[in-house]
Each structure stands twice: as structure tokens, then as C-alpha cells.
Amino acid sequence: MRNQAIRGKGKVSSVARTRLVKIGKSRGICLPRSLLDQVELDEEVELEVQDGQVIVRPVPRPRRDWEKHFGGMTARGDDRLLGFKSFSLTSWDEEKWVW
């Protein structure tokens, strides 16, 4: 397996050469740790064939890293419930609506 970095237009790309491995009737590849760390691949990936190339990308996870972000909210004090008086009520809300 051979690894190298390619620089161009403000980006650094990694290139690795490896062999296909027989897995039953299919074939697989072993991805080097250096590549895995750059793209943060989890257990599941998306594969796409585009212009004769196989593209491997992480599966989008909309709620990924929520715990980290909620921890930041706690540190900033942004995790408190809004009080009843913090909402701007209209006169209809205050006089006619039954709470």
C-alpha cells in the first residue's frame, strides 16, 4: 500500500494504492487509517459510481455531534427554558385566550 499527499488549489488530497480482496462473490478494499480519519467514516457509507470512479462518502447524519453542541449550549447558558413572560404576547393572547 502506498500513500502520498497531493496539493492543489488550497486543498490537500491523499492518495493510497491498495488491492481488491475477494469476499465471497464480491470484492472489498481495506482503507488506510489516514484516509478514514480525514473523512470520519462510520460503519455505514454511501457508494456512487460517477464518471468511471467509485466514490465513497459518509452517510449524512443530521443529528451527528448533537451532544457536543448541546454541551457548548450549556457552557454558554443557552440551554435554559424560555419563561412565559419572555414571549411577546398580543392583547388577544392576554385578554381572550384561555390558558
CB 7 within 8 Å of CB 14 = no
Using CA atoms in the order 13, 19, 24, 25, what is the torsion angle rounded to 10 degrees?
A: 80
Q: pLDDT tens digit string along 48-65?
A: 999 999 999 888 888 877
Q: Write down the domain spans for the chain.
A: 20-79
Q: Which CATH architecture has domain 20-79?
A: Ribbon (2.10)
Which residues 6+ apart lie within 8 Å of 49 measured at CB? 55
In angstroms, the CA 87 to CA 99 distance is: 14
Q: The pTM is what?
A: 0.50
| CA-based torsion, 28, 30, 35, 40: positive or negative | positive
Q: pLDDT tens digit string along 9-35?
A: 555 677 888 899 999 999 999 988 888
